[in-house]
Structure 1
Amino acid sequence: MKTNLILWRHAEAEDGEDDLARSLTLRGHKQANKVGEWLRARLPANARIVASEALRARQTAAALYPEHGVDARLNPCMSASDYLTVSGWPDAGGTIVLVGHQPTIGQLAAKLLSGIEADWAAKKGAIWWLQYRLRDGMPQTRLKTMLAPDQL
Structure 2
Amino acid sequence: MTFNLILWRHAEAEEAKAQGRDLPRKLTRKGHKQAKKAAAYLRAKLPADARVFASQATRSQQTADSLGTAYHIMPALNPDIDARSLARILNNLRGHSHVVLVGHQPWLGQLCAFLLNGNWAQQNIWSVKKGAFWWFQVRPEADGSFRAKLKLVMSPADLAD
2:151 paired residue number:
144
Cα drift, residue 130 of structure 1? 0.6
Contact 2:50 2:96 in 1 (8 A): no
2:143 paired residue number:
none
Residue-pair matches, total: 148
Unaligned 5+ segments in structure 1 are none
Does structure 1 residue 114 correspond to structure 2 residue 117?
A: yes
Distance between the aligned counterparts of 1:78 and 1:45, measured in 2?
29
Counterpart residue identity of residue 57, structure 1: S
Does structure 1 residue 60 correspond to structure 2 residue 52?
A: no
Does structure 1 residue 49 correspond to structure 2 residue 49?
A: no
**Paired residues for 1:3-152 under 5 Å:** 3-17=3-17, 18-88=21-91, 91-117=94-120, 118-133=124-139, 140-152=147-159
CA RMSD of aligned residues (A): 1.8
The structure-2 alpha-carbon separation of the partners of 1:90 and 1:52, relative to structure 1 and needing over 3 Å to count, comes to closer
The TM-score, its normalising length taken from structure 1, stands at 0.90
Contact 1:87 1:96 in 2 (8 A): no
Distance between the aligned counterparts of 1:100 and 1:116, measured in 2?
20
Distance between the aligned counterparts of 1:133 and 1:112, measured in 2?
10
The TM-score, its normalising length taken from structure 2, stands at 0.85
SS in 2 for 1:13: coil
1:75-108 C-alpha deviation (Å, 9 max, x unpaired): 0111223333334367334111000000100100
Counterpart residue identity of residue 2, structure 2: K
1:55-74 C-alpha deviation (Å, 9 max, x unpaired): 00000000113421101100
1:25-56 C-alpha deviation (Å, 9 max, x unpaired): 00000000000010000001100000000000
Counterpart residue identity of residue 56, structure 2: E
Contact 1:87 1:98 in 2 (8 A): no
The structure-2 alpha-carbon separation of the partners of 1:149 and 1:89, relative to structure 1 and needing over 3 Å to count, comes to farther
Identity of aligned residues (%): 47
